[in-house]
Amino acid sequence: MKKITKKKRLLKTLIHQKKTYNLDEGVTLLKKMALSKFIESLDVAIKLGIDPKKTDQNIRNAITLPYGTGRLTKIAVFTQGKNEIIAKNCGAEFVGLHDLIEEVKNKKIFFDIAIATPDVMYIVSQIGPILGPRGLMPNPKLGTVTEKLEHAIKDAKSGKIYYKNDKNGIIHTTIGKINFENEKIKANFNSLINSLKKSKPIKLKGSYIKKIIISTTMSPGIQLELNTFHI
């Protein structure tokens, strides 16, 4: 018989699988379940009532969380000339063009956000098949293709997150760390929800946000009550 660990026994006593929770209850439970030796991230999965096969219903956006994500964001900037100096001075971890592209192709570097200046996008497009599936391809609509590198890097470092639905119509993102104060977690969460509301497809019929699950890096998910968010 498979041995049930102490942690699993604790989790079973805390969570009622068929119950939904308000945000305060959910966060309180997650904090009780965060038993790892490291500070776990607080993740959100949101099931949308969209049809991912329809281009005009896909969701992709970016927001700056009021209290950041609590983690170090590694940034790659694809640019050339004097913009390389600007990017390095602003704290970007990886800066360059051809050499940087080769490192990406050879899987020698890993980063959270990619930013590019418009003049090099025709070159950066060659690694689109690598960056695209990872949600890292620079995009002017998200502010990651820009001449204003200082502003873009500062936003990324201060807690800007980029989100999009997957093939099942689900948004996955991180809104902070489990050691954040509850009010800060709520503020970050509400910013995400408000951003999603503004991104609702005009032609969408029926429910837009169908299910919200919150979890930590190592915990099971907790389903939230939708009627508490005025969705």
pLDDT confidence of residue 1:
47
Look at residue 49 and tell me if it is in a domain: yes
pLDDT confidence of residue 86:
96
152/167 same-domain check: no
Query: How do residues 89-134 score in pLDDT, each as one tens digit?
Result: 999 999 999 999 999 999 888 999 999 999 999 999 999 999 988 8
Domain ranges, residue 183: 19-31+38-68+161-228
Name 149's Cβ contacts closer than 8 Å, sequence gap at least 6: 77, 79, 83, 86, 87, 90, 115, 117
Residue after which a domain boundary falls, among 110, 135, 158: 158
pTM of the model: 0.80
Look at residue 13 and tell me if it is in a domain: no
CATH code of the domain in which 153 resides: 3.40.50.790
101/203 same-domain check: no
193/205 same-domain check: yes
Residue after which a domain boundary falls, among 138, 158, 178: 158
pLDDT confidence of residue 135:
84
* 218, 40 contact by CB (below 8 A): yes
Count: domains in the chain: 2
Residue type for position 126: Q
